[in-house]
Each structure stands twice: as structure tokens, then as C-alpha cells.
């Protein structure tokens, strides 16, 4: 049995790691590989797993939530509903983010997912 506060802490660590991945890899996806090594080492290493249970699934769940393309969500992005389905974010003023911003974010998330899945 894993204590709930521990799972919450791991979830927060996953969230911070995702933000770091987005910061580092949006413009340079090569930075995802060393980050993937560290993340996989922390979340999947048996010596850090309480009760022998890997916690990498918490991190992978974040990837799937933030990048629906990894789940196979494809199709047009002509309407706002399509863009929301594909993971586009809204700016503070309520408008959709730019194509450049969306592309960079999806590139960073996909590079991070590949870096972790390769471990």
C-alpha cells in the first residue's frame, strides 16, 4: 500500500518535470534525452518504488493528458472544438494559442515521451 501523500508528492514532481521538459525542449528537442534518463531513473527505478511498484505510470498519464496525439487523436484542426480535442490551449484573453506555440509544445512533449519510452 502506497500512502496518498506520497502519491500526491510524486504527482507534483511529475507536473514540475513536465513544465521543465516544456521549457527545455520546445526549441531544442535534443535536451529531452538526458531528461528522459533522469525521469525514468527516478520514476521507474526499483529502489525508489514503494512496495516494488513503479510510479512511471503517473508520469505517462501526464503525457497522455497533455498530448492527446499520443492517444491517437488525429484529424483536422479547423474549428475550435477540433483544436481543443487535439490539445490546443487558450491564451489568457480566451483566444487559441498560435500554431507555432502549439507545434513547439507538442514537439517537446513527444520528444519527452520518446526519451522516456526508450528506457
Residue pLDDT, tens place only, 36-48: 888 888 888 887 7
pLDDT of residue 33: 92
Q: What is the pTM of this model?
A: 0.82
3-state secondary structure of 96: strand
Chain mean pLDDT for the chain: 87
Residue 51 Ramachandran class (φ > 0 left, ψ -120 to 50 alpha, else beta): left
Q: Which residue has the higher pLDDT, 51 or 92?
A: 92
The C-alpha atoms of residue 53 and residue 51 are separated, in whole angstroms, by 6
Residue 4 has pLDDT above 80, yes or no: yes
Residue 96 has pLDDT above 80, yes or no: yes
Residue 119 has pLDDT above 80, yes or no: no
Amino acid at each position: 500500500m502506497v500512502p496518498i501523500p506520497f502519491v500526491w508528492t510524486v504527482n507534483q514532481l511529475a507536473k514540475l518535470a513536465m513544465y521543465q521538459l516544456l521549457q527545455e525542449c520546445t526549441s531544442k528537442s535534443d535536451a529531452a534525452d538526458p531528461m528522459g534518463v533522469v525521469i525514468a531513473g527516478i520514476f521507474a527505478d526499483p529502489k525508489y518504488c514503494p512496495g516494488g511498484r513503479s510510479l512511471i505510470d503517473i508520469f505517462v498519464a501526464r503525457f497522455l493528458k497533455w498530448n492527446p496525439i499520443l492517444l491517437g487523436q488525429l484529424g483536422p484542426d479547423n474549428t475550435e472544438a477540433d483544436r481543443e480535442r487535439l490539445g490546443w490551449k487558450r491564451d489568457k484573453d480566451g483566444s487559441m494559442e498560435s500554431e507555432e506555440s502549439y507545434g513547439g509544445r507538442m514537439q517537446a512533449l513527444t520528444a519527452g515521451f520518446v526519451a522516456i519510452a526508450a528506457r
